[in-house]
Amino acid sequence: MTETQETKGGSPSRRALIGWGGAGLALGAAAAGGAMAMAEVGNDVDPAAADMGGAVEFHGAHQAGIATPVQDRLHFAAFDVKTDDRAEFVQMLKDWTEAARRMTAGRPVGEGAYGGLAEAPPDDTGEALGLKPSRLTLTIGFGPSLFDKFGLHGRRPAALADLPAFPGDNLDRARTGGDLCVQACADDPQVAVHAIRNLARIGFGKVAVRWSQLGFGKTSSTTPGAQTPRNLFGFKDGTRNIAGTESDRLKKHVWVGDGDGGDGDAWMTGGSYLVARRIRMNIETWDRTPLQEQEDIFGRDKGEGAPVGKAKEHDKPFLKAMKPDAHVRLAHPDSNGGITILRRGYSFTDGTDGLGRLDAGLFFLAYQRDVREGFIPLQRRLSAHDALNEYIQHVGSAVFAVPPGVRDSGDWWGRALFSKEA
């Protein structure tokens, strides 16, 4: 498919937005090509900015934003579906895909932010013009409640299990659940925010944002060669994560395999399951906790990040040297029958809570092949025994089926789920 066709069949044009759908449809390929050319010129798209690197390939067997080296910033949004018209929802997914394809390449949505019809709002909101692609990745997920709609009932994978209530959970309903989600990661926060904003705008009337979360300071790395980031408790986080280059471990623990869950779940092959938890961290209490106690809680030292009794961060942990309730001892695969998840979380601070305390914490994101064999048993153990529980509280929660990647320019997010032949 050519770019002209993609653009024509993609994001709603400004004419469509002001009800000129008929006129828009009547446009021939040549006219659509003209609009495209106008967008390129009208928005002063700097070819250097789009081509200068910093763009992550949107197409592939898996969605970008999972094994991709973790970017610095996050804007995550969960949406509720507002339409009961399946065709309208599918068209929105196609429009989203086209917009995502353009934005991840550093291009504006549709006909751009200016230079088009003066009588209509522009297709793109404009705040990312002139910015580099900033390694933007957009990753879509489908929540359990989506499968109650659009005749999808029989297509919900068993691995997309509802999360049980864990001890200590204090979930805010307004920050929990969602029919679908989009995870936007980028090295520039404005690029991530622009992407979610424009998808929400395209989805107007069909979906509405249920909750969203901004994140900074990645708390997990998928690039072990790089310096391990630190979380808001000041400890290195992500030391023993799955690396984006470890294809064997990704295949074993993250990507849904051929035949997982039986025929009905075949549409998920190459996808993954995402658990998102908004975890509030009691910063003020932590900051009054002695260093030794802090290190005991994790089972690692604060400076180097070395496991108890070891000298270097990447030394193999000797779990029995740690306190029985140390976080790392409890979370380590050897304590959990080999359970391994890919962590991709971010720190957040959303101002103060009205009592003078920071509303801050970890927006925990974890990808796995099956939620029943990943997050659920792990969190059962942690929520019951982890010494860290005195300093944290889970206040938001959601789980999503993250479909496989968009293969090429003719493919779209959710095709395998919504197409009968898949």
Binding site for ligand HEM (CB under 6 A): 231, 233, 235-241, 279, 281, 298, 300, 317, 327-328, 331-333, 341, 361-362, 364, 375, 378-379, 382, 392
d(CA 359, CA 280): 7
- The nearest distance, CB 396 to ligand HEM, in angstroms, is 12
In what helix (H) or strand (E) does residue 327 lie, and over which residues does it extend? helix 327-331
- The nearest distance, CB 327 to ligand HEM, in angstroms, is 5
Beta carbon nearer to ligand HEM, 91 or 389: 389
The region, left, alpha or beta by phi > 0 then psi within -120 to 50, assigned to residue 319 is alpha
- The nearest distance, CB 196 to ligand HEM, in angstroms, is 24
Beta carbon nearer to ligand HEM, 173 or 316: 316
Beta carbon nearer to ligand HEM, 127 or 169: 169
- The nearest distance, CB 355 to ligand HEM, in angstroms, is 20
- The nearest distance, CB 379 to ligand HEM, in angstroms, is 4
- The nearest distance, CB 44 to ligand HEM, in angstroms, is 43
- Sign of the C-alpha dihedral, residues 46, 51, 52, 56? positive
What's at 362, amino acid-wise?
L
Beta carbon nearer to ligand HEM, 272 or 379: 379
Both tokens of residue 402? 């993250």
Beta carbon nearer to ligand HEM, 105 or 279: 279
- Sign of the C-alpha dihedral, residues 126, 130, 132, 134? negative
Beta carbon nearer to ligand HEM, 187 or 304: 304
- The nearest distance, CB 375 to ligand HEM, in angstroms, is 6
Beta carbon nearer to ligand HEM, 362 or 399: 362
Q: Is 353 exposed, middle or buried (0-12, 13-18, 19+ CB in 10 A)?
A: exposed
Instruction: Say if CB 233 and CB 345 are below 8 A apart.
Output: no
d(CA 281, CA 390): 10
Beta carbon nearer to ligand HEM, 380 or 407: 380
Beta carbon nearer to ligand HEM, 130 or 338: 338
CA 358 to chain centre: 24
- The nearest distance, CB 319 to ligand HEM, in angstroms, is 8
Pairing mode, if any, of strands 346-352 and 358-368?
Answer: antiparallel
Q: Is 56 exposed, middle or buried (0-12, 13-18, 19+ CB in 10 A)?
A: buried
Residue 230 DSSP symbol: B
- The nearest distance, CB 214 to ligand HEM, in angstroms, is 17
3-state SS of 146-199? HHHCCCCHHHCCCCCCCCCCCCCCCCCHHHCCCCEEEEEEECCHHHHHHHHHHH
